[in-house]
Every structure is written in C-alpha cells, then in structure tokens.
C-alpha cells in the first residue's frame, strides 16, 4: 500500500490536505479537514446576544445571520434602516469574497516578470494584464473600507444586533460610500469585459462532474429550494425547517461532517449514484436563475452566455464565471443601498421585549446558504446551538472534485505538485 499526502491546500479557510492511497487498484482519494472547531463549547452558557460577535470566526456573513436568528428569538422586526444597512454589508461581503477568489486564481496564472525583458519568453496569449489583477485588490481594499463603515470592522463586523443595528452612520460616510459603490461597479464592468474575452478552460483543468443536487434560498418567500443538476426545482420547504431536513454525517477520516438530505438518506461518496448530497454557492444560485443579470451586451455577452451552456453545466470554469456574475450583481446593489436615503431613518433598532424558546435564520452568504438555530433558557443563556455553514454543505462536492482530479491525472504520482495545483484551482470557487 502506498500513501501520498498533498498538503497544505492553498486558499482553504481551514487546514486541509488530500490523501491518496494506492493498494493495487484505482487510487482512493480523501479530502481531509485537519482542524476541529467546537462551536458548542464556545457558545453554550453565554448570553445569546454575544453570538453575532463570536460566530464571525466562521466568516463575516455569519455575523448577519446570527443577528437575524436573534431577531427570531426575541420576536422583533428590525426597522428599514437596519435592514438596508445589513443588506448593504452583505452585498459588500459578496464583492470582497468573490474578488479575492478571482485574484488568487488569476494571479497564479500571471507573469510576475511582465514588466521586464524576461517577460518576452513564453508569453501566454490568455494571460490577464497584471495591472488589472492589481486593481482587483485595490477595489477589495475599497470594499473593505465600506465594511468598516457599515459593520464597525473590516473582517470582523460588530454592528448588527438583535432588532437592528448598533449605530447611525456619520454624515461624511454617505458620500464616501457612494464613491466606493460607483468605483466598484465601474471596475466590475471593466473586469467582466476583459474576462469575457478569455477562455477560462485554457487557464485551468476544467471538467464536468456527475449530476448533483443544489440548494438555494429564495429571499422573498424565505423558502429553501432544492434543484436537480439542470437547475429545475424538485421541491422546496420553509427555511425554518432546514435543520429538520438536512442531516450531518461524520466520517472518521476528516473533522468536517457531510451535509445531506435526510429524506433521501446518506449515500457513501463511493456510491455510483449519489442522491442525497448537494452543493451550495454561486454556481448553485446561477443554475436556478432563468435570466442572468450581466453588464455585457452584443458579441461579448453572446460569447459569455454560450460558454455557460443552457442550462449552465456543472464545471469548474462555470463556477468561476458564476463568481463574475455575482460580482457585478453585488456591485449594482451596493450602489443602490449606499444611497443616503437608504441608510437614514428615525430608528436604528427596535428593542426586544420577549424571549422565545428558539430562534432560527438562514441567508445566502457569498459561499452559499448558511443557517443558525439557538435555544436558550428564560434568561437568554444559550443552551443549544446548531450551525449549518457552507463549508459543511460543500464538503461532499469538494471530495468528489478532488477524487475526479486524481483519477484523471494519470501521471499524478510522478509530479504530485501539478495535481495539487489542479485540485486547489478546482476547489477555490466553492
């Protein structure tokens, strides 16, 4: 038996590696999360109002869904100003998260010597201009400034509280937010036009994967929608039933559990046909949209639309294209929500007057659907907490992707670094 470890994987939130075992037959591939984060020990016994700050350890978007769970627990509705401020922060987080991923991907394919004579050697005709890549991070920095204005901190927001937000914005911030929003929207259009002329399949190891379900949440109806591989709706259920519908399976070789649909039962990842696992995130949301909002028109848009396919196929290149679509959509919403009239009002918070037995909330975060459920005693002390994050829900699809890359890299054991790079690029948009 031969065991090969590919570690650490770049761009992952948690310490992750791939273990490949050869024992005379096809290699067995395991994507292993090596860190164990025990949220229950961190949260049980604490006042429930502290959770929005604590749970940003998962990602900034968990700050917002945590505040929404408190709204449910205390049976309070935030005023319009608070709703808009929270939504503005969420759209900014979309922009930052997706832009960072594109930066990681594109910078790994750029020529670091393009400004010197050495750049004349082996020029890749599909490479992205280095200046454009640098502008990506400049606009990420601008968006981070906006999150600091809206959330109190750039990467660890603190402004959302039960019933609303904790403070009004100061007068100078309105003009600054408007300036940031316009700049981000303008650059997102520029970036989209450049990337529309680039064939992503030439920059990465692209492939389609076996049909798999996807989950999204419809914001207007607050319904969780389950779609098949073509994007057609199979069924839906209220978001407050998500913890009854979604189960977790723990396997001994990784700390990260696997999410699955309870009514279909758990399928081993080695099964020829998997029916209960699913994925979430930008590509899942895109597959369910009947019409795609996008800044391009004419031949640019036609070539981009053709690249997606109809419906958008599950492929790594399309997962990156989904990031591009949501960057523009987020920037457009940022411009609308950053207007002073959207972020002003007489009240920033409605004070809670009661405590229910539990509170639950779910939203679409940049990486996909996330949900929280809290149970407290009569004093508001946490007795039980349940978190469904996007990493858990995408754990199965990431494992299948890693397995597929290893299987199709016939010479992977001769140069494991190439296979490791292919895996990293394939996992990044999820």
Angle (deg, nearest 10), helices 61-73 and 80-107: 150
Confidence (pLDDT) at 219: 73
Kindly provide the b/e burial profile for residues 291-302, where b requires at least 16 CB atoms within 10 angstroms of the residue's own CB. Answer: ebebbbeeebbe
Provide mean pLDDT across the span 357-383.
96
Confidence (pLDDT) at 272: 67
Q: Looking at the predicted structure, is the pLDDT value of residue 85 above 80?
A: yes
Nearest CA to 84 out of 172, 150, 141 is that of 150
Task: Write the DSSP string, 104-171.
Answer: HHHHTTS-TTTTSGGGGSS--TTPPPHHHHHHHHHHHHHHHHHHHHHHSSSSS---EETTEES-PPPH
**pLDDT per residue as tens digits for the range 13-22:** 999 999 999 8
Rg (CA), the chain: 22
Confidence (pLDDT) at 109: 79
Provide mean pLDDT across the span 354-359.
92
Please say whether the beta carbons of 214 and 278 come within 8 A. Answer: yes
Helix (H) or strand (E) holding 14: none
Confidence (pLDDT) at 299: 55
The structural domains of the chain, with segments of one domain joined by +, span 36-113+126-393
Q: Looking at the predicted structure, is the pLDDT value of residue 61 above 50?
A: yes
Q: Looking at the predicted structure, is the pLDDT value of residue 351 above 90?
A: yes
Please tell me whether the overall predicted TM-score, pTM, comes out greater than 0.75 for this model. yes
Instruction: Quote the CA–CA distance of 412 and 417 in Å, as a whole number.
Output: 8
Provide mean pLDDT across the span 204-212.
84
Confidence (pLDDT) at 119: 45
Instruction: Quote the CA–CA distance of 419 and 411 in Å, as a whole number.
Output: 9
Q: 36-113+126-393: which CATH architecture? A: Orthogonal Bundle (1.10)
Confidence (pLDDT) at 429: 96
Which of 53-62, 114-123, 251-260 shows the lowest per-residue confidence on average (mean pLDDT)? 114-123
Q: Looking at the predicted structure, is the pLDDT value of residue 386 above 50?
A: yes
Number of neighbours of residue 378 by Cβ within 10 angstroms: 7
- Identify which of 56-70, 194-208, 227-241, 288-302 has the greatest average pLDDT: 56-70
Confidence (pLDDT) at 108: 87
DSSP 271: S
At a CB cut-off of 8 Å and minimum separation 6, what does 283 contact?
214, 312, 314, 318, 319, 322, 429, 430
Angle (deg, nearest 10), helices 298-308 and 171-196: 80
Confidence (pLDDT) at 122: 44
Strands 213-218 and 278-279, how do they pair? parallel
Residue 89 phi, psi (nearest 5): -65, -40
Instruction: Quote the CA–CA distance of 167 and 115 in Å, as a whole number.
Output: 47
Mean pLDDT estimate for the chain: 89
Q: Looking at the predicted structure, is the pLDDT value of residue 115 above 60?
A: no
Instruction: Quote the CA–CA distance of 317 and 302 in Å, as a whole number.
Output: 17
Please say whether the beta carbons of 178 and 242 come within 8 A. Answer: no
Which of 20-34, 92-106, 324-338 shows the lowest per-residue confidence on average (mean pLDDT)? 20-34
Please say whether the beta carbons of 53 and 273 come within 8 A. Answer: no
Please say whether the beta carbons of 352 and 76 come within 8 A. Answer: yes
Q: Grade residue 281 by pLDDT with cuts at 50, 70 and 90.
A: very high
Per DSSP, the three-state class of 215 is strand
Please say whether the beta carbons of 370 and 362 come within 8 A. Answer: yes
* Residue 232 burial by Cβ neighbours in a 10 Å radius (0-12, 13-18, 19+): exposed
**pLDDT per residue as tens digits for the range 410-425:** 776 678 888 999 999 9
Per DSSP, the three-state class of 405 is helix
Instruction: Identify the residue with better confidence: 409 or 237.
Output: 237
Confidence (pLDDT) at 277: 94
Q: Report angle CA 393, 90, 102 to the nearest 5 degrees.
A: 70
CA 229 remoteness from chain centre:
19
DSSP 168: P
Confidence (pLDDT) at 422: 92
Helix (H) or strand (E) holding 245: helix 242-245
Residue 128 phi, psi (nearest 5): -90, 135
**pLDDT per residue as tens digits for the range 219-245:** 777 899 999 887 789 999 999 999 999
Instruction: Quote the CA–CA distance of 85 and 174 in Å, as a whole number.
Output: 12
Provide mean pLDDT across the span 41-51.
95
Instruction: Quote the CA–CA distance of 42 and 22 in Å, as a whole number.
Output: 39
């Amino acid at each position: 038996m031969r065991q090969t470890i590919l570690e650490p994987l770049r761009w992952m939130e948690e310490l992750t590696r791939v273990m490949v075992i050869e024992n005379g037959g096809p290699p067995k591939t395991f994507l292993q999360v090596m860190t164990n984060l025990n949220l229950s020990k961190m949260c049980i016994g604490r006042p429930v109002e502290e959770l929005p700050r604590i749970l940003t350890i998962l990602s900034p978007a968990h700050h917002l869904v945590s505040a929404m769970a408190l709204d449910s627990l205390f049976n309070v509705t935030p005023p319009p100003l608070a709703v808009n401020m929270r939504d503005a922060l969420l759209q900014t987080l979309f922009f930052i998260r997706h832009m960072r991923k594109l930066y990681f991907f594109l910078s790994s394919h750029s020529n670091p010597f393009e400004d010197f004579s050495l750049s004349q050697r082996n020029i890749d005709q599909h490479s992205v201009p280095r200046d454009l890549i640098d502008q990506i991070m400049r606009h990420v920095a601008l968006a981070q400034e906006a999150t600091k204005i809206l959330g109190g901190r750039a990467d660890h927001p603190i402004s959302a509280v039960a019933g609303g937000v904790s403070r009004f914005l100061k007068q100078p911030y309105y003009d600054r937010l408007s300036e940031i929003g316009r700049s981000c929207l303008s650059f997102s259009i520029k970036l989209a036009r450049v990337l529309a002329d680039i064939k992503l399949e030439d920059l990465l190891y692209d492939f389609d994967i076996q049909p798999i379900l996807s989950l999204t949440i419809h914001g207007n109806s607050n319904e969780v929608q389950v779609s098949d591989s073509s994007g057609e709706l199979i069924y839906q259920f209220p978001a407050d039933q998500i913890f009854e519908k979604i189960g977790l399976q723990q396997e001994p070789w990784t700390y990260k559990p696997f999410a699955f649909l309870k009514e279909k039962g758990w399928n081993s990842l080695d099964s020829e046909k998997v029916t209960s696992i699913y994925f979430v995130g930008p590509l899942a949301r895109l597959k369910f949209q009947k019409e795609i909002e996008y800044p391009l028109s004419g031949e640019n848009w036609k070539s981009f639309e053709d690249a997606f396919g109809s419906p958008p196929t599950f492929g790594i290149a399309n997962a990156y294209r989904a990031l591009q679509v949501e960057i523009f959509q987020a920037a457009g919403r940022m411009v609308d929500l950053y207007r002073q009239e959207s972020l002003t009002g007489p009240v920033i918070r409605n004070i809670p007057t009661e405590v229910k037995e539990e509170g639950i909330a779910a939203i679409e975060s940049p990486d996909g659907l996330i949900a929280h459920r809290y149970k407290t005693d009569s004093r508001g002390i946490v007795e039980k907490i349940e978190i469904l994050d996007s990493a858990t829900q995408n754990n199965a699809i990431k494992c299948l992707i890693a397995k597929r890359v290893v299987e199709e890299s016939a010479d992977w054991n001769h140069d494991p670094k190439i296979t490791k790079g292919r895996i990293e690029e394939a996992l990044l948009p999820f």
